[in-house]
Structure 1
């Protein structure tokens, strides 16, 4: 997940109005400084993923990264 999030295309100028609740929320903890970063994600039908960080900056994952993140969360839902 760390490698996938590193590939998010962030855009600080975009403001997205998401009326739907996020599909998933997760925290990434930086082990070096023990600081947590919260991410909200919305999975799109086309395979892309919309991502919002705790500062409400929006980003998009497309292609293989979007599909991989989506499949990780779907696997966890099945358990």
Structure 2
């Protein structure tokens, strides 16, 4: 889970997006407690935050690609 990701990638921050962002207030305390219990000391204080775009991040990202690059398969 999160602890393995911390050890593998050594992030400065974990951003929970998509459906996880909707349940952030419910999930974050359990995830934080697990990380504090299982992670190596250097990784126990890595911030865990919800994505600002919530569960619409994928939709917004896809729309922005179309606006910036055009629809896939269509020449401009």
Fold in common (TM above 0.5): no
Larger Rg: 2
- TM-score norm. by structure 2 comes to 0.27
Larger relative contact order (Cα-Cα within 8 Å, sequence gap ≥ 6): 2
- TM-score norm. by structure 1 comes to 0.26
Task: Name whichever structure is richer in strand by fraction.
Answer: 1
